[in-house]
Amino acid sequence: MTMKNDLQQIDVSKSFCVMLHDVAPIYASHVAEFTKTMSPLVGNAMSAAVVPCWAGVPLGEPDRPFLDRVRNEYANILLHGFEHFRPKGGGLVSLAANGKDEMNGLDAAETDRRLEKGQEMIARWLGQPACGFIAPTYNIGLATPDRLARFGIHYTVGYGKVETSAGHKLPLATWVWDVSPVKLLCRLGYRLGEIQYRFRKRALPCVVLHPLDLERGFLPQIERTVRKLVEAGRQPVLLESMGYGVPAAPVVA
């Protein structure tokens, strides 16, 4: 028996995607500002990467108005870790990311617990569990595609690629500004995105937003980047509309 997963072919020369990370009630005003700025350009064809228990504070009934807006204004919901913060230990990535590399340092049991609880909370407050996952700081730890699949998550978005539980990979050319508390490194994240956009012609352009981008003054540059893609004749796409998030179907060889 073999497995197959039918994904729609996408013309990356005519497409791009927009993803907002760190979607949590603490950043409600930031999310609203991004929505106000991006929706005239891309409508609701954006992904919201939700953290269900930001810094140990779980979603609750008072957050329902915020979550209803997220569900209505973002066509795709992704699981973005559980608490976002690394519970113990550290390293260079943790230092650069202010301890937000949650999946690093977790053992298998704790990784499973956070994935399970995260899916339960996403389903409860946003209507259904997530089909996709973005690891905080893109460091997956033990949250590999096969482990994610046990919890109904069938694709994971990294910095340079999307990978499915069926083994399919889609290269990404990513702009990301929230690289570090050091603003110079944030500017470097944008420059790397520009280089990838120019030279990785087979990669899907991906504009990644974070709430702290607003506080650091990057919104005008983000808006210009998205507008440039639209004016180049590109259309915003959602990974799940192309078949990502669908488990591999068994077929008889």
H/E segment holding residue 73:
helix 64-73
Q: What is the CATH number of the domain that holds 149?
A: 3.20.20.370
Q: What's the confidence (pLDDT) of residue 115?
A: 98
Q: Which domain holds residue 73?
A: 2-251
> What pLDDT score does 182 carry?
78
Q: What is the pLDDT along the chain (253 residues), one digit of tens a residue?
A: 333 445 567 788 899 999 999 999 999 999 999 999 999 999 999 999 999 999 999 999 999 999 999 999 999 999 999 999 878 777 766 666 676 788 988 999 999 999 999 999 999 999 999 999 999 999 999 999 999 999 999 999 999 999 988 888 999 999 999 987 778 888 999 999 999 999 999 999 999 999 999 999 999 999 999 999 999 999 999 988 777 766 655 444 4
Indicate the number of domains in the chain: 1
Four-CA torsion 95, 83, 79, 182, nearest 10 degrees: -30
- State pTM to two decimals: 0.91
Q: How far is CA 200 from CA 13, 64, 77, in A?
A: 10, 40, 27
